[in-house]
Structure 1
Amino acid sequence: MNTPPTPSGIETAPGPWWLRWVARLPLPWLRAAGAALGAVLYLGAVRRRAVVHRNLALCFPQASPAQRRRWAWQTFCHFGQAFVDRVWLWHAPPAVITRRVRLEGAWAALSEPGPRLLFVPHFVGLDAAWSRMTLAFDRPWATLYAPQSHPALDAWARRGRGRFGAPRIVSRREGVRGVVRALRDGAAVCLLPDMDLGAAQSVFVPFFGVPAATVTSLPRLAAAAHAPVIPVVARLDAQGYRVWVGPAWADYPSGDDEADAARMNAELQRWIAETPGQYHWLHRRFKTRPPGAPGLY
């Protein structure tokens, strides 16, 4: 399949000179720095490490303790590498991103007009997927964004995610209203609904066999906008990233929010099982419990 096109004239200001300089370092050097950052976090972030181990024990009870420890280590290592990779994703020349981030699968559907809902779960490569897609396809884009607590980090992330294509960066504080407006304007909207966002607007459906509070925004927005749901899974590798764009889900939404949420979790489970160490296990996925159920953390 041919390489997706790279539109011209869509890049915003590339940022400070020293970040542009760091972005030109060889990828193995940057990955080594990211792994070192991950090691520091693994050793120092005691509470977060406990969350990762608990999540893996709940989701992979059949795996050996040694295997789960390896996945926990990989979780922090890949988290650190993905964080450092943002330097070249947000500051390197577009040709570097095109070379290092490869689109696979049914990516041609992203060039078609009309609203699209992209299910982009929390794998470490999600920023790589966003940068590559907004670089390659000259169309309206939008995504939900959780503001960062540190102002400088928040500003850096917003500029980086808005680098290509002038996308709408919709704050979670704005709710779904901004997403609905973007869909009405024919945007491709990246949605990340695989986190525990509380009991409101959620249903309890299995995630690796454990009841998990799962928001129903994906099927509800798809129904409201008559938009197909397209999965996007980004995986880190030695060359950069592989971004797989799947075909639109058939018969989705079904009209049953609980069944649709369960299907979303089941699809996600299959992808996680391929590379467990690349999923965002640092989040307390099971913090919200069904009524009367004991806490898990």
Structure 2
Amino acid sequence: MKDHLAPLIFKLLALLPLGLLRALGSLIGRAMWWSNSRAAKVTRENIELCFPDLSPAAQTALARQSLQETAKTAMEAAAIWRQPWSWLQGKIVTMEGDEILRAKLAEGKGVLVLAPHHGNWEVVAPYLASVANLTAMYQPLDNPKMDELVLAGRSKLNITMAPTNRKGVMMLFRALQGGTIVGILPDQVPARDAGIEIAPFMGQPALTMTLVQGLVQRTGCAVCSCYAERVAGGFKIVVMEADAAIYSEDLHTSVAGLNESVAACVRRAPAQYQWEYKRFRRLPPEYPKRYQFK
């Protein structure tokens, strides 16, 4: 029953207008805050770590707003997965930096796009695929019915989903060598048996993937960041140059450049970052205890 209920709810949500979905998300986010949920606790912790210069009142306000924005992302996802590209295209009300992506594609070496958990990242893949063929990694969900719904929603247009294994990594290499686009969620905490490096993110040490550095060094591809900011009436697509350090042959320098590329996006609209994600977990025991519980 549980396996069928979640997909049914998302299918029903997809029938609602975007404004109503956002209103529902706002209500859910407020409930998460006032119930002092686990997500609220982690959000407060992360914002206190990453914005130490903000007053306690400002940190609280940012945390509260962030939970509402994250809940809006979840509600919007239903429509984005189920509706056609023509619907979503009509919701992209403005773009900034689209010319950056197109110019890098014209170089013919492939473009690696960093798409952090910022704004509504579900919007980014269809946008990228409207520009050129896109290959992105996908981790299957435990719920098979939900996995089927999400995979179908993320496989529209010119999107190829690659598994999160060696075969999938090779698919990314081939896509870049073919001059197309590869999309990476760069701010996930990698598994310990994956390529990892500790580098600063928003002033805090964080386990960070080394996959991006490997792709850049082996293919000579260009790199940029992209996110879809939530604005009145829809979304604003923002494409930004990646931090120059990401091209470094030195692993730590490159990984630090990756995190700085993400941070540059976050600073543009900090309330729309997914702060309830435990970004600073799995660090070695020599780091302060405040990082260990995450």
- TM-score, structure 1 as length reference: 0.83
8 Å CA contact 2:243–2:258 kept in 1: the answer is: no
Inter-CA distance 18–231: structure 2 relative to 1 (3 Å threshold)? closer
What is the rounded CA distance, in whole Å, between the counterparts of 1:255 and 1:214 in structure 2? 16
Partner of 1:128: 123
Residue type of the alignment partner of 1:69: T
Q: Which of 204, 211, 214 is matched with 2:198 structurally?
A: 204
What is the rounded CA distance, in whole Å, between the counterparts of 1:151 and 1:24 in structure 2? 22
Paired residue secondary structure (2:25): helix
What is the rounded CA distance, in whole Å, between the counterparts of 2:8 and 2:195 in structure 1? 44
8 Å CA contact 1:120–1:191 kept in 2: the answer is: yes
Partner of 1:194: 187
What do the CA deviations read for 1:211-233 (whole angstroms, capped 9, x no partner)? 21112221211111121111112
Paired residue secondary structure (2:112): strand
Paired residue secondary structure (1:63): coil
Matches within 5 A, 1:195-274: 195-199=188-192, 200-247=194-241, 250=244, 252-274=246-268
Inter-CA distance 19–259: structure 2 relative to 1 (3 Å threshold)? closer
Residue type of the alignment partner of 1:188: I
Inter-CA distance 94–66: structure 2 relative to 1 (3 Å threshold)? same
What is the rounded CA distance, in whole Å, between the counterparts of 2:269 and 2:50 in structure 1? 13
**1:109 is the counterpart of 2:103:** yes
What do the CA deviations read for 1:131-170 (whole angstroms, capped 9, x no partner)? 2222x22x321111222222222111111110212x2212
What is the rounded CA distance, in whole Å, between the counterparts of 2:40 and 2:13 in structure 1? 29
Tell me the CA shift for residue 173 of structure 1: 4.2
What is the rounded CA distance, in whole Å, between the counterparts of 2:172 and 2:213 in structure 1? 13
Number of equivalenced pairs: 279
Partner of 1:171: 163
Consecutive unaligned residues of structure 2, counting only runs of 5 or more, are 1-6
Structure 1 vs Structure 2 CA RMSD: 2.7
Tell me the CA shift for residue 124 of structure 1: 3.2
Partner of 2:75: 84
What is the rounded CA distance, in whole Å, between the counterparts of 1:248 and 1:63 in structure 2? 26
Tell me the CA shift for residue 178 of structure 1: 3.1
Tell me the CA shift for residue 268 of structure 1: 2.3
Inter-CA distance 26–110: structure 2 relative to 1 (3 Å threshold)? farther
What is the rounded CA distance, in whole Å, between the counterparts of 2:14 and 2:104 in structure 1? 28
Partner of 1:4: none
Residue type of the alignment partner of 1:205: A
Inter-CA distance 131–45: structure 2 relative to 1 (3 Å threshold)? farther
8 Å CA contact 1:228–1:249 kept in 2: the answer is: no
What is the rounded CA distance, in whole Å, between the counterparts of 1:151 and 1:21 in structure 2? 18
What is the rounded CA distance, in whole Å, between the counterparts of 2:242 and 2:286 in structure 1? 37
8 Å CA contact 1:193–1:217 kept in 2: the answer is: no
Consecutive unaligned residues of structure 1, counting only runs of 5 or more, are 1-15
Paired residue secondary structure (2:247): coil
- TM-score, structure 2 as length reference: 0.84
**1:67 is the counterpart of 2:62:** no
What is the rounded CA distance, in whole Å, between the counterparts of 2:204 and 2:263 in structure 1? 12
8 Å CA contact 1:211–1:290 kept in 2: the answer is: no
Inter-CA distance 95–276: structure 2 relative to 1 (3 Å threshold)? same
Q: Which has the higher helix share?
A: 2
Residue type of the alignment partner of 1:245: V
Tell me the CA shift for residue 250 of structure 1: 4.8
What do the CA deviations read for 1:1-31 (whole angstroms, capped 9, x no partner)? xxxxxxxxxxxxxxx9997885464322221
What is the rounded CA distance, in whole Å, between the counterparts of 1:143 and 1:198 in structure 2? 18
What is the rounded CA distance, in whole Å, between the counterparts of 1:21 and 1:287 in structure 2? 35
What is the rounded CA distance, in whole Å, between the counterparts of 1:30 and 1:276 in structure 2? 21
Paired residue secondary structure (2:117): coil
8 Å CA contact 2:198–2:205 kept in 1: the answer is: yes
Among all aligned residue pairs of Structure 1 and Structure 2, give the percentage whose two residues are the same amino acid: 27
**1:27 is the counterpart of 2:27:** no
Partner of 2:4: none
What is the rounded CA distance, in whole Å, between the counterparts of 1:17 and 1:285 in structure 2? 31
What is the rounded CA distance, in whole Å, between the counterparts of 2:250 and 2:114 in structure 1? 18
Residue type of the alignment partner of 1:213: L
Residue type of the alignment partner of 2:112: L
